[in-house]
């Protein structure tokens, strides 16, 4: 009698391994994990923008960055360098057509660079928005969060 595995035994083992692989793949849901990771990056980015605006405000004795203080109250603006077209890219809020350039935060040292959305952003259109109200309260958020809930902060 020869020692070894029969074809049936090998097929059964391969089928069990395949079933286990499918169960693990479904349980881990990699698409959702990638979306969660990108949303976590969005939270980090908008927090950095918010903190940079706040530090700039303190550094300048209560005077907002000119790019921010010149915004229309209660209107949302996409952060970036674009001159137009920003109103068509943000799904979370209705934004103005022109972007607001926060390069002053980099120049003044509050940010090393302007962060942009990990999926769809670039320097011209970061896919993050900013809004200031009449009381100088600022809201910052992500235009296209993926996890089903808003990615925004206000203070």
**Cα–Cα nearest to 130, from 84, 70, 83:** 70
Q: Which residue ranges in the chain fall short of pLDDT 70?
A: 1
What pLDDT does 142 receive? 97
Axis-axis angle for helices 30-59, 7-28 (nearest 10) = 30
Residue 96 domain-assigned (yes or no):
yes
Tally Cβ neighbours within 10 Å of residue 75.
Answer: 16
Does 27 fall in a domain?
A: no
Q: Is residue 14 part of a domain?
A: no
Parallel, antiparallel, or unpaired: how do β-strands 152-154 and 75-78 relate? unpaired
- Copy the structure tokens of residue 143: 């235009």
Domain ranges, residue 117? 34-153
Q: What is the pLDDT of residue 113?
A: 95
Predicted pLDDT of residue 1? 66
Count structural domains, the chain: 1
pTM here?
Answer: 0.82
pLDDT for the residue numbered 126: 96
Helices and strands (H and E) in the chain: how many? 4, 4
Asked if the structure places residue 61 within a domain, the reply is: yes
**7 located within any domain:** no
Say what the pLDDT of residue 67 is.
92
Domain-embedded: residue 55: yes
Tell me what pLDDT residue 26 has: 81
Point out which residues pair with 153 in neighbouring strands. Answer: 140
């Amino acid at each position: 009698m020869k020692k070894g595995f029969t074809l049936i035994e090998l097929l059964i083992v391969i089928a069990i391994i395949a079933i286990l692989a499918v169960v693990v793949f479904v349980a881990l849901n990699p698409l959702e994990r990638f979306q969660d990771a990108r949303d976590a990056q969005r939270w980090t980015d908008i927090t950095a923008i918010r903190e940079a605006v706040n530090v700039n405000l303190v550094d300048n004795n209560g005077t907002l960055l000119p790019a921010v203080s010149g915004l229309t109250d209660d209107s949302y603006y996409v952060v970036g360098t674009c001159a137009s077209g920003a109103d068509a890219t943000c799904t979370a809020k209705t934004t103005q057509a022109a972007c607001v350039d926060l390069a002053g935060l980099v120049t003044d040292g509050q940010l090393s660079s302007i962060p942009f959305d990990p999926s769809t952003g670039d320097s011209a259109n970061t896919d993050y928005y900013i809004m200031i109200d009449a009381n100088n309260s600022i809201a910052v958020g992500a235009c296209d969060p993926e996890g089903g809930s808003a990615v925004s902060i206000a203070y």
